[in-house]
Amino acid sequence: MTADIATVRLPDGKSVPCLGQGTWRMGEDSSARKAEIAALRHGVELGLTLIDTAEMYGDGGAEKVVGEAFRDLREKVFLVSKVYPQNAGGNALRRACENSLKRLSTERIDLYLLHWRGAVPLKATVEGMTALQSEGKIGDWGVSNFDASDMAELLAAGGSACATNQILYNLLRRGPEFDLLPAMAKRSMPAMAYSPIEQGRLPNSGVLAEIARRHEATIFQVALAWVLRRPEIIAIPKAATIAHVAANRAALDLKLDADALAALDKAFAPPKHKTPLAMI
């Protein structure tokens, strides 16, 4: 394995790794902090330089872990964080961003996302994100957990600069393929797939296991390789140990052929009609 991995372009032309590192549940157990930091730093050595976190994770604890992990490597990582919906406009948005910046030990968040839609009008969120950009506090901005109708409303509210939509997408959650992913693709807007292996809740027998055996891989690596088959997807699995992050990186080298993809389609059927966007 090398540190050179495929990239995905954001709408403004910036390139980011197609495989990053998630941090949900990090920063909650002080005894795990050293291992979490080591895993994140090892991931960067392997080319997984996109780091996703949020003010919600561990009440800011995950952001603190990320800040400590990359204080001396800031120029090597692309930081993504997310704001609570109740903080998504006006002074509350600015305060939330500034608090995240302090916890992350940085002067800029490369990509700042609205974690999910709340009561704050989308127009206020767009205006607030644009202001943070002009002040240099953030680079790009985007959303998370937005369905196709939410994205349409966002665009109508002036959100054409939205860089991405972070969604739940994996073998068991293929609903976005019906309308959301095609609509985003028309705008050259990549999706970020969180929980790409459904937090480990995948069947350990059947087609998935057979493909894993054939490739001398784990079912999780096969499921992650399946998500990464799409060139417009950025996957952000969480790994809290060096071994786990290395296993995730190895999934990039696993190429599923047409027969394997067809078998997975048969076992985990693509959507034939609209279903509401799932969330975890």
| Burial status of residue 156 (CB atoms within 10 A of its CB: 0-12, 13-18, 19 or more) | exposed
Question: Choosing from 57, 112, 169, 194, which is the catalytic residue?
Answer: 57
57 among known catalytic residues: yes
The catalytic residues are 57
